[in-house]
Amino acid sequence: MQINRRLTRQIHIGVVPIGGSAPIVVQSMTNTDTRDVRRTLAQITRLAKLGCEVVRLGVPNMEAARALGKITDAAKIPIIADIHFDYKLALEALSQGVDALRLNPGNIGGGRKVREVTKAAADHGTPIRIGVNSGSIEKDLLIKYGGPTPEAMVESALVHMRILENEGFDKIKISLKASDLSRTVDAYGKLSETVDYPLHLGITEAGTMLPGAVKSSAGMALLLADGIGDTIRFSLTAPPENEVKAAYALLRSLGLRNRGVEVISCPTCSRTDIDVIGMAHKVERALQYIAAPLTVAVMGCVVNGPGEAAEADVGIAGGKGKGVLFKKGKKVGIFLEQDLMPALLNGVREILAAVGDGSENHHN
Ligand code: SF4
């Protein structure tokens, strides 16, 4: 599938470029108490190891804002401060050195307060994401459009955008989230025809892991396939580590990013002779921190197994109490079931040793 991405302006969140010709950036959000610097940093480190490139932190009060400096200094990836309503939290977050703000300028008290925040953000070179949520659209727009329609969402974004532009500020990124999928897709489509700021994609309040990942993927895939979206976040009622894994699975399946190990495994059936489900999960866990793009196959039997396993970088195809190991298309050995996993992981290590553990080429 050839996806032609719509060209947007490029901004930088810390060292990470977003928009323009930059790869689609994977984000997540911590769910620790931001005031708890140690736990928050531990979670950020786990997310970064999984490939999260930018992370957002909720800043509900001044204590949380004051913790941001320590977090920003120690974190290996850029930090976005998520602020609602209180402009003083935004000013504090900026003075603590965050890499970006998520805030709606129309919601922080207008006039002087907006000017102060915008000027401080401009002085720090810090971008601002405008995040329109269908649940919090301004009353006048709800009346004008008869509800939180895509048009109302787009106009809300434009109102916030103009407030910043009127202050001469243009390091802007925009998101338009609704939990209703078709409304979200329509809104992003309309917005991308209207502005060329980079867009942050997400389906808000998508749900728990499985239905949430499916719903978010369905919505984001429609947009991404249309070339829309410069950074994505899965909003899942699940540990944020899962959001990062889901993001790469989606981007990889669309050919938009090529990071990490893809485990190809069969659905299992009456012919399955080895513990494919257990092995596939173990393989996934064992290889989750590898950045190099690899395909690893775990197949249950010799019907489809050898074909799929042989196409992968490393693969196993089960037989009765034993299985075949393939490497780069070649059968390299037969192992007893209990020795298959170690043999597979060893095969992966050998390939990595040959290519380097290779973080991804950032321009794929
Ligand atoms: Fe069944 Fe074999 Fe296909 Fe797995 S690979 S689903 S065991 S036929």
| pLDDT tens per residue across span 329-346 | 888 999 999 999 999 999
Decide the pairing of beta strands 322-327 and 330-336: antiparallel
Residues with CB under 6 A from ligand 1: 266-269, 271-272, 299-301, 303-305
Q: 309: Cβ–Cβ under 8 A, 6 or more apart, which residues? A: 297, 299, 315, 316, 317, 324, 326
Mean pLDDT, range 263-283, rounded to an integer: 92
Nearest CA to ligand 1 atom 1: 269
Other beta carbons less than 10 A from residue 301's beta carbon: 21
Atom 6 of ligand 1, nearest CA residue: 268
Token pair recorded at residue 136: 């919090």
Give percent of the chain above pLDDT 90: 80
pLDDT of 206 over the 80 cut: no
What's residue 305's pLDDT? 62
Q: How confident is the model at residue 131, as a pLDDT?
A: 92
Q: What pLDDT shows up at residue 359?
A: 46
Instruction: Find the 271 Cα to ligand 1 centroid distance in Å.
Output: 6
Looking at the CA of residue 308, tell me the nearest atom of ligand 1.
5
Task: Quote the strand ranges of 9-159, DSSP E.
Answer: 11-13, 16-18, 25-29, 54-58, 79-82, 100-102, 128-133
Flag whether pLDDT at 358 surpasses 90. no
Closest atom of ligand 1 to 273 CA is 7
- Confidence band of 306 (pLDDT split at 50, 70, 90): low
**Which residue would you say has higher pLDDT here, 7 or 105?**
7
Question: Which amino acid is residue 131, in one-letter code?
Answer: G
The residue to mutate among 275, 304, 311, 326, having the most atoms of ligand 1 within 8 angstroms of its beta carbon, is 304
- CB under 8 Å to 58, separation ≥6 — which residues? 29, 30, 34, 64, 82
**CA 317 / ligand 1 centre spacing (Å):** 9
- Whether the predicted pLDDT of 192 surpasses 90: yes
- Taking the centre of ligand 1 as the mean of its atom positions, its distance from the CA of residue 93, in whole angstroms, is 54
Helix or strand holding residue 143 (H, E): helix 139-145
- Backbone phi and psi for residue 261, each to the nearest 5 degrees, phi listed first: -90, 130
With cut-offs at 50, 70 and 90, classify the pLDDT of residue 321.
Answer: confident
Average pLDDT of the residues in 259-286: 93
Indicate whether 142 pLDDT > 90: yes
Q: What is the pLDDT of residues 207-228, one digit of tens each?
A: 899 999 999 999 999 999 999 9
Q: Out of 141-155, 163-177, 202-216, 339-353, pick the least confident.
A: 202-216
d(CA 44, CA 37): 10
The model carries a pTM of: 0.93
pLDDT value for 68? 98
Q: Cβ of 240: how many Cβ atoms within 10 Å?
A: 25
| pLDDT > 80? residue 292 | yes
Q: In ligand 1, which atom is closest to the CA atom of 301?
A: 2
Task: Please determine, for residue 364, whether its predicted confidence score (pLDDT) is greater than 70.
Answer: no
Cα–Cα distance between 248 and 252 in angstroms, integer? 6
| 261 alpha carbon – ligand 1 mean position (Å) | 21
The ligand 1 atom nearest the CA atom of 268: 6
Question: What is the rounded distance in angstroms from the CA atom of residue 6 to the CA atom of residue 49?
Answer: 29
pLDDT in tens, 37-74: 999 999 999 999 999 999 999 999 999 999 999 999 99
Atom of ligand 1 nearest to the CA of 266: 4
pLDDT, residue 355, reads: 78
Compute the distance between CA of residue 196 and CA of residue 174 in angstroms, rounded to an integer. 10
The pLDDT value given to residue 357: 60
CA distance 110 to 88: 13
Instruction: Give distance in angstroms: CA of 307 to centre of ligand 1.
Output: 11
pLDDT tens sequence across 85-98: 899 999 999 999 99
Tell me the C-alpha distance between 107 and 117, whole Å: 12
Q: Could you tell me if 297 and 328 are in contact, meaning their C-beta atoms sit under 8 angstroms apart?
A: no
d(CA 81, CA 225): 29
Atom of ligand 1 nearest to the CA of 299: 5
Cβ atoms of residues 77 and 14 within 8 Å: yes
User: Which pLDDT belongs to residue 205?
Assistant: 77
- Check whether 354 has a pLDDT greater than 90: no
Which of 268, 277, 324 most suits a substitution to test ligand 1, by most atoms within 8 Å of the C-beta? Answer: 268
pLDDT at 27 over 90: yes
Q: How far does residue 19's CA lie from ligand 1's centre (Å)?
A: 42
Rounded to the nearest angstrom, the distance between the alpha carbon of 268 and the centre of ligand 1 is 5
